[in-house]
Amino acid sequence: MVGSSHEALHRIFQKDPALLTRALQRVLHVPFPEPHEIAALNVDLTEIEPVERRVDTLLRAETDEGTYLLVVESQGKVDDRKRGSWPYYLSYLYEKYRCEPVLIVITQNSATARWAAQPIRLGFPGWHSLTVRPLVLGPDNVPVITDERQAEQDVPLAVLSAMTHGRGPQAAPILESLATALKTIDPDSAAVFVQFVDSCLADPQAKQMWRDLMTAIQYFWRHPLAEQVREEGREQGLEEGREQGRTQAKAEMVLRVLEWRGIPVPEHVAERVSTCEDADQLELWAERAVRAACAEDLFVEE
């Protein structure tokens, strides 16, 4: 289980390594050659002496132009110690693998992105012995994907968009389009992506909306985070059993999505949803709630 945004931000590239090269080409406009194969490597850079050094994610990309090591670092805040660590990582990896290392930093914070993008120069002015120029992915260059069709064309990039921009004002349309796009891929991959996004949503309202959306399409219940939410439900008085608890939670979720989207819910709609015991019907209403123009749209085909 992914336990933090730091972990999710780099592990998404372990889940879909090709996403990293697409991000380099399309987001940063770096002419990185198209890989034939990408493999994950051991992230442990510890030497014999008792000094542990680890990168977050390490990938090897085979291209027509040669083999590259893609070093991915997830950065939550400014940390000047990295000015020593990152050059060490690159030098060590080049010596160990004899492949060109490329440093990519990913962050959710614009200020951290600007800091990370500054070149690290070692030596004296006018004659630098070593210069490190990180490639940075952050909220200022990762695309904001709010269109469902665009999200379906590249689901991992849409996931990265949600992870990067989940704190911003456009969180709602990003999450809604991603929720729809997740239905187009295999459930196991979708469940992993759900967890990545959930770990990166710092805003409580956005996190709750995401969980509601995922409950509606049932991917949410496929990964370990679901147990936490079920436990929260039991603490709130949903001890009637697992199935009844799910039905009750789905009814509450339908109404909460409408409320979150600013759609007024008349009393007769709230009563009909709250008293419904058909889990499939509630799931259908939940999907409609994401796009409904008014509360009565839940029952438009009935």
Most confident of 63-72, 75-84, 207-216: 63-72
Structure pTM? 0.67
Q: Which residue has the tokens 């994950």?
A: 40
Task: Say how far apart CA 210 and CA 34 lie, in whole Å.
Answer: 34
- Quick one: pLDDT band at residue 123, thresholds 50, 70, 90? confident
Closest CA to 43 of 68, 5, 70: 70
Q: How far is CA 26 from CA 33, 245, 301, in A?
A: 12, 44, 41
**Position 62, amino acid:** E
pLDDT at 240: 47
Tokens at 241, concatenated: 């059993």
Q: pLDDT of 209-229, one tens digit each?
A: 888 888 766 554 444 555 555
Question: Residue 165 contacts by C-beta under 8 Å, 6 or more apart in sequence?
Answer: 139, 142, 144, 171, 174
pLDDT digit string, tens, across residues 128-163: 889 999 999 999 999 999 999 999 999 999 999 999
DSSP E strand boundaries for the chain: 35-40, 57-63, 66-74, 100-106, 120-124, 127-132, 135-137
Q: How many Cβ atoms sit within 10 Å of the Cβ of residue 46? A: 10
- The token duo for 131 is 């210069």
CA angle 16, 20, 26 (to 5 degrees): 125
Asked if residues 70 and 28 have their Cβ atoms less than 8 Å apart, the reply is no
pLDDT at 302: 56
Q: What is the pLDDT of residue 48?
A: 52
